[in-house]
Every structure is written in structure tokens, then in C-alpha cells.
Amino acid sequence: MSKRKIPTDESERRKQSRLHKLGTNTPHCATCGNSDWRVIEEHHPDSRKRDKLVVLLCANDHRIVTDEQKDHPPGVDGCDPFLLSVGNFLLGLADMFAIIIERLYEFGETLIARANECAPKPERRT
């Protein structure tokens, strides 16, 4: 017997509302691929909430890169806002790439470990 809940009108309304806000019927986290619409959030890579450019991330990855943004160098009063925005955007992308690279190492190492488990065991010499 399945433990999966049957969607109610209310849960379907929440889902459609969320998908509408995210702007897609197939949301995915840009760094891990999670596609559960309930945990997908909009992230502003240049750290400005009013910027139109957003990337969809799962809640976990969103928290990680948002925390990393707090360590980006600040702009000073009177600085060039365009260059500051582009600089923050590039650092934001680098933060997301860092997560992706970390996962690529994990996946690659896991696949190699599984490949090695399939190798025939050496015969014992007596």
C-alpha cells in the first residue's frame, strides 16, 4: 500500500501558485537537480533582491550560496554600481560552481568506487 498522499484541491492550488511564481512547470535546482517544487527558491546571484536575473535553487543550496554572498567584498559609497553588480554576480556564479564542482568530485569518486567493487576478486594462492 502506497503512503503517498492523494493531492487535494488545496495542495494542487499551492503547487500551481508556486510554479507560477517560479515561472516554470518543471523547476529544478541549478546546482543539484532537485525538482521538488516545494523546496525550489529563487536566488539572486548578484545579491540584489530587486535584480530581475534569478537562478532556481533548492532551499539547502540557496542557503549555502546566500551565506557565501555575505563574504563578498562590499562596495564603498560612490562606487560604480554597474561594476559592483557585475562583480557580485560573478562571485555568485563562482559560489554556485563551487557547489557543482564539489558534487562532481563526490559523484566521480563514488562511480569509481562502484566500478572497483565489480572487479573480480584475486584468487588466493595456497
Q: Report the interface residues with Zn ion, using CB under 5 A.
A: 29, 31-32, 34, 58, 61
Nearer to Zn ion, 27 or 91 (CB): 27
Residue with smaller CB distance to Zn ion, 102 or 109: 102
Is the CB of 84 or the CB of 96 nearer to Zn ion? 96
- Smallest gap from Cβ 27 to Zn ion, in A, equals 11
Other Cβ atoms within 10 Å of 104 Cβ, number: 11
Minimum Å gap between C-beta 54 and Zn ion is 15
Sign of CA dihedral 35, 12, 22, 95: negative
The least CB distance from residue 45 to Zn ion, in Å, is 14
Q: Hey, what's the cell of 51?
A: 535584480
